[in-house]
Amino acid sequence: AASGAEVQAASPATPAEEPRRPRGNIIGRMDLRRVVTPGAPAGAGAGAGAGGIRQPRTMARGIRPGFVAPMPIIEEEGRREAEAERQLREEKERKKRAGVKENEEKVFTATEFRKREVIFQPKKKRPVSGRDAKKTQITTPKASKRIVKVNNTMKLGDLAVALNVKAPVLLKKLMGEGVTATMTTDLDFDTIALVVPEFGFEAVNVHKSEGELVEAMAHGDLQAELVERPPVVTVMGHVDHGKTTLLDAIRQTDVAAGEAGGITQHIGAYTVTLENGVKTTFIDTPGHEAFTAMRARGANVTDIAIIVVAADDGMMPQTAEAINHAKAAGVPIIVAVNKMDRPGANPDRIKQQLTEFELVPEEWGGTTIYCPVSALKREGVKELLEQIHLVAEVQELKANPKRSATGIVIESRMEKGRGAVATLLVKDGTLNVSDDFVAGTVIGRVRSMMNDQGQQVKEAGPGYAVEIMGLPEPPQAGDRFDVCADENMARQLSDQRKSKQTKLDQPSAKLSLEELFAKVKTGDQKELSIVLKTDVAGSLEAVRGMIEKTDTAAVKTKLIHSAIGGITASDILLASTAKGLVIGFGVRPDGEAIRLAKEKGVEIKTYSIIYELIDDLKKMMTGLLEPKFNEKQMGRAEVRNTFVVPKVGTIAGCLVVDG
């Protein structure tokens, strides 16, 4: 037993060997002075509970108080403590190198240390049980989902995705059917319908024709009650027979004074309220033979055609063309025998000549209405309007104003500061501001609407003509427009019309540049290249048609470019490359175009009357053209503002920009 300051070692010493004396009171790592003896006073050797002295680890392991643990146990405990301290230091250094802050350190338990050691070891495969593992089941979609929707054509890659098969598998199947294709090849519906049943699918063509798309775009109250609409009347006839003057007498205005050379060059649409309150829309078409297409378009959109014939001039070729167009359109014809105030007026001769076209007067037992008028003296105009109203009542013209609008593009042009402007004639429905519509191949939105009097309007009903803005480019005159509510359908309709137009234009573009040069070199064919610019779409169509008819045996005309708008520098460059000339109808070149034309040696010809253009073109092609006018530009000025001075007139404030 240990007592006082000296304690004997617990291990027995051999008799022949002298017992080892401890160094001081220390044995191994234990200070014997801290060993608590039973019954000792609190001051001599108190434990942790009496005096705050720490108990040795050996007491926690069941060693009797008052005895010293054997040396191997004490050394083992010391090694464990040293190893734990070493691991803790290494962990701190590792975290310090990794940038982990001191307060973020985590104390790992022994179990967590073991987990960290085995976390990167590959997992052992669990043994498969005695029964066989389940195989992947291939599910078959129901019949309603095994349908491939095709919009006329479909790319091979998209078809493979729709069938949920790999592209090489589909490609192999197509090659077995004799079809060679790639991932981007467009497959037609017949080919797709032949292949997809092999994969358990069915092909359905969801492609819609132009008529079906137009019907699908129509919205509003399509079953609303039809109401009476104003008739659309077209005034047709030979040049200088008084069509516009007659319309002036009806409108109580003076339109003819504003036309170049007193000849109507564009289509004009006007809505007139008659004395009895009945509204009528008039369309004035040019009478020159060059505007045959424009005149035909006027007849196609009209309800009643008025053929104006001069009583002192009689039947003319353009009069016959106007009658044929009106008869082809299937519309009633009223003959207005104009210029009855002339000394040589002979209405009976006119009636006799028109009987050749089956226009027999009512007094001769026929059905055609003849009205003798004098547009200049405004005689017989009232009787003509009564006959128009009577014919319109017989036709019972009605429309649905509660549905989406549809109609015809009468005219289109580019205006500086306003952009693309189009004149629309509403045939059915109501056109409102902010409506989205498709005019031909152009998609636009109605930004503003203006009537023929220059007044801003919010809507236009059936039978009315309005001028609208909000188009990215001018549509072609005569194109149909339809208001749409679905942008996707509008784009489909536009793309379909573009594709159709491209197919129509392909035959005229088959002549290659090499073939052209070969023909010119051998002298088989000489060509006159022309760049044509006009002010409106109708004039462009008419002049282009006339140029195509001026070919001779020696020289052929080639229209390399035609567009609406003024003559620009790009037109000069194009004409210079093709070694041609630039023709402008109703437009002028800008300053840059004039400068570049002088530099490149390109000739610019501008006209305001179409038959002068055609005559000069024919002489140019035969080499007989002699200069009549030599226009020399002295300077250019830009109008900044205008103001009216009483008894003087309108004064323009200008800034001289050149010359």
- Give the model confidence (pLDDT) of 291-326 as tens digits: 555 555 565 678 888 999 988 888 887 788 778 777
The 10 Å Cβ neighbour count of residue 131 is 6
Residue numbers of the chain with a pLDDT score lower than 70 = 1-72, 99-144, 253-267, 275, 286-300, 503-526, 552-554, 621-629
Residue 424 parent element (H or E):
strand 419-428
255 vs 611: CA distance, rounded Å: 21
**Closest residue by Cα to residue 336 from 235, 262, 253:** 235
Q: Are the CB atoms for 368 and 397 separated by under 8 Å? A: no
Q: Are the CB atoms for 345 and 339 separated by under 8 Å? A: yes
514 vs 250: CA distance, rounded Å: 57
Residue 583 parent element (H or E):
strand 581-585
**Closest residue by Cα to residue 275 from 377, 371, 379, 381:** 381
DSSP 392: H
Q: What totals of helices (H) and strands (E) does the chain contain, helices first?
A: 19, 30
What residues have CB less than 8 Å from 214, skipping those under 6 apart?
Answer: 406, 482, 493
163 vs 271: CA distance, rounded Å: 58
Strand order from edge to edge, sheet including 333-338? 268-273, 279-284, 232-237, 304-310, 333-338, 369-372
How many Cα atoms are found within 13 Å in the side-chain-facing hemisphere of 140?
5
480 vs 410: CA distance, rounded Å: 9
563 vs 254: CA distance, rounded Å: 30
Annotate 307-342 with b (16+ C-beta within 10 A) or e (fewer): bbbbbbbbbbebbbbbbebbeebebbbbbbbbbbee
Q: Are the CB atoms for 410 and 266 separated by under 8 Å? A: no
SS (H, E, C) 7-75: CCCCCCCCCCCCCCCCECCEECCEEHHHCCCCCCCHHHHCCCCCCCCCCCHHHHCCCCCCCCCCHHHHH
Q: Look at strands 186-188 and 227-228 and give their pairing.
A: unpaired
Q: Look at strands 227-228 and 398-399 and give their pairing.
A: antiparallel
Chain-wide mean pLDDT for the chain? 76
581 vs 585: CA distance, rounded Å: 13
Burial zone of 232 (CB within 10 Å; 0-12 exposed, 13-18 middle, 19+ buried): buried
The contacts found for 547-553 with CB under 8 angstroms, 24 or more apart, are 547/617, 550/614, 550/617, 550/618, 550/621, 552/621, 552/622
Tokens of 267: 């289509």
pLDDT of residue 570: 79
Q: Look at strands 581-585 and 526-534 and give their pairing.
A: parallel
- Give the model confidence (pLDDT) of 18-33 as tens digits: 555 555 455 555 555 5
278 vs 291: CA distance, rounded Å: 30
pLDDT of residue 172: 86
56 vs 436: CA distance, rounded Å: 94
Give the Å distances, CA to CA, from 100 to 89, 110, 516.
14, 21, 80
302 vs 366: CA distance, rounded Å: 23
pLDDT of residue 344: 80
Q: Are the CB atoms for 581 and 575 separated by under 8 Å? A: yes
pLDDT of residue 265: 56
pLDDT of residue 654: 95
Tokens of 161: 């995705």
Q: Are the CB atoms for 341 and 376 separated by under 8 Å? A: yes
376 vs 399: CA distance, rounded Å: 35
Write down the H helix ranges in 147-222. Answer: 156-163, 167-176, 189-195, 210-217
Sign, Cα dihedral of 403, 409, 410, 413: positive
